[in-house]
Chain A
Amino acid sequence: MSHRTPAGRVHGLGSAQHGVDHWWAQRLTALALIPLIIWFCISIIGLIGTDHVTFTSWLSMPGRAVAMLLLVIATFYHMKLGLQVVIEDYVHERGWNVMLLVLNNFACVSLGTACAFAVIKVAVMG
């Protein structure tokens, strides 16, 4: 049951009804990243100084490629959400604020796409 007054509703005041989405997505990606980061760190230690052939054959195993893709997606999504909050908190000048928020989206999506494509390409074609 809503306790909002009819006048409040008409004026469109209060929550825009999606405030929790950002918070929830940040926690979900954080939770997903716990096992993924542990796996990544252990794997990467074993891959120190490897040549190209060893690395590509390592990544060509489906389980590893999928884990790496999940890591990339969760990482860049989490990064986008986190940097967004930092920009919103510290950059108050309207122009800079909007510009940096746009740049943040472009940078995270671009880097994430580049990483995801690289993983798929290496996993499938070597």
Chain B
Amino acid sequence: MAQVERPISPHLHVYKPQLTSVLSILHRITGVGLGAGTLLLAWWLVAAAYGPDQFEAAQAFIASWLGRLLLFGFTFSLFYHLCNGIRHLFWDAGRGFELKTVYTSGWLVVIASLGLTAVSWIAGYASGDAL
């Protein structure tokens, strides 16, 4: 019997992106991104263990434009994953499932992660200038 070409379940792209679905996939994307970012953390720590020259090299890379760009992405990913992770922990505790609450907490996560990223970078530049 020939294989029947049955319709498969709807592809995701037929759906209009919503805050809930976008934030959901963003949690995974930032998680994977942070995983890649741990290479930078490992380099930085291991360089410190090797000695002053290697540590200076790592610090110089982080201070470069590419380093800052990566660090900016890392900072936002970290705060987003942290805030949305807390949102997930509330769901795990069985709270916040009402549609209205899901949207409120979603927007809160967006605002908090953008705000924390901005505050960190302002504090970072202030701290760097103070040296």
Please list the residues of chain A having a beta carbon within 8 angstroms of any beta carbon in chain B: 27, 30-31, 33-34, 37, 41, 45-46, 48-53, 55-56, 59, 72, 75-76, 79, 82-83, 86, 111, 114-115, 117-119, 121-122
Contact = CB atoms under 8 A, between A and B. Distances in A.
Nearest to B123: A45
Given A45-B123, A86-B31, A76 B38 contact: yes
A3 to B, nearest CB: 24
A41 B48 CA distance: 18
Given A45-B124, A51-B52, A83-B35, A115 B45 contact: yes
Given A50-B131, A52-B51, A117-B49, 20 more contacts: A30-B89, A33-B82, A33-B85, A41-B120, A45-B120, A45-B124, A46-B127, A50-B59, A51-B52, A52-B55, A53-B52, A55-B48, A55-B55, A75-B38, A75-B41, A79-B35, A83-B31, A111-B42, A122-B45, A122-B49
B38 A111 contact: yes
A41 B28 CA distance: 21
Contacts of B32: 83, 86
18 contacts: A27-B89, A27-B92, A34-B86, A37-B82, A45-B120, A45-B123, A49-B63, A53-B52, A55-B48, A72-B45, A75-B38, A82-B35, A111-B39, A117-B49, A118-B45, A118-B46, A118-B48, A121-B49
> Mostly helix, strand, loop or mixed at chain A's interface?
helix
Contacts of B89: 27, 30-31
Interface in B36-69: 38-39, 41-42, 45-46, 48-49, 51-52, 55-56, 59, 63
